[in-house]
Amino acid sequence: MAAQNNPVRGIAIMCLSMFFFVAVDTIARELTQRLPVSQILWVRFLIFAVIVVAIVGPRTVRTNLRSRNPWLQLGRSLVLVAEIAIFVLSFRYLPVADVHAVAAAVPLIVTALAVPMLGERVGWRRWIAVGIGFVAVLAIIRPGFLDLDWYHLLPVAGALIWAFYQVLIRLTAYYDGQDTTLLWTVLAGAAFTSCFGWIDWVWPGPQTWLLLVAAGILGTVAHYTLILALNAAPASLLQPFVYTTFPWAVALGLVFFGEFPDAVTFAGAAVLIAVGVYVMRRETKSAG
């Protein structure tokens, strides 16, 4: 697919893609009340793998699986399984919007990890932004002011692993193309979750099956629309619109669960979004 230069189209599709990602998380919150997390992961990866193989083409799977660094691809894929598992588990205990508020720190964590892992240089302004982001995350989880249970730290762990995963994606780009990385993601994830996803199996009812299939399909649509957005407009232009996940999470959490973040969570998310956009602009200027 040839890249286009249509910023309005790219921004619109990017916002839609973020909606689909949050919709999957909203369904996951409901599913965690009905099924074990391991089972949710297994079915989700199986559906994702079937759809991706059908799109890429079954006859080309073997060719596209040839990687110049298979151990990196395998490790990256397993990190993604861990990240999804932690976020799905966090939805069992915490509102969707609260989890996404903490996840807004991911671009800042990526900036910090890029120094030791990728050898990138980060100026003092961006380090200050990372520090401010850390304070904002503390404001959201409020250790010492609330009864801090272990599950309040799940979104923090998920954000750290998600940031680590994004750095690994940058590393794999030096070795393999997008189709290879995508196939390793879904096939390694499906194979790994097949080792344990059936252990605590709870047979879903018709409505639960519908939710499972919907989560798998919407997850695929989310990734596909993200690709469409990046083909319509430059990534540097679209990155700030990743933060539309928070208002989407607020809206869907309110509609389906009657959950609404408090003022401190809103303030912390606003600070994270502001410093995240600042870091993205600094990175764009540095790259230019």
**Domain positions in the chain:** 7-287
Mean pLDDT for the chain overall: 82
Per-residue pLDDT at 186 exceeds 60: yes
Highest mean pLDDT of the ranges 33-47, 88-102, 141-155, 220-234: 33-47
d(CA 258, CA 256): 6
76: number of Cβ within 10 Å: 22
How high is the pLDDT of residue 112?
Answer: 78
How high is the pLDDT of residue 285?
Answer: 62
How high is the pLDDT of residue 127?
Answer: 72
Per-residue pLDDT at 269 exceeds 90: no
Quote the Cα angle for 166-168-172, to 5°: 120
User: With b meaning 16 or more CB within 10 Å and e meaning fewer, what string describes 37-48?
Assistant: bbbbbbbbbbbb
251 close to 25: Cβ distance less than 8 angstroms: no
d(CA 159, CA 143): 17
Each residue's pLDDT tens digit, 99-127:
888 887 777 777 777 777 767 676 667 77
Each residue's pLDDT tens digit, 11-40:
888 889 889 999 999 999 999 999 999 999
At 189, the pLDDT band (50, 70, 90 cuts) reads very high
At 1, the pLDDT band (50, 70, 90 cuts) reads very low
Percent of the chain with pLDDT over 70: 86
148: number of Cβ within 10 Å: 12
Q: What are phi and psi of 65, to 5 degrees?
A: -80, -10
Q: Which residue has the higher pLDDT, 233 or 61?
A: 61
Would residue 208 be called left, alpha or beta, if left means φ above 0 and alpha means ψ between -120 and 50 degrees?
Answer: alpha
Both tokens of 232, joined, read: 């319509």
Both tokens of 231, joined, read: 């083909």
Q: Which residue has the higher pLDDT, 139 or 113?
A: 113
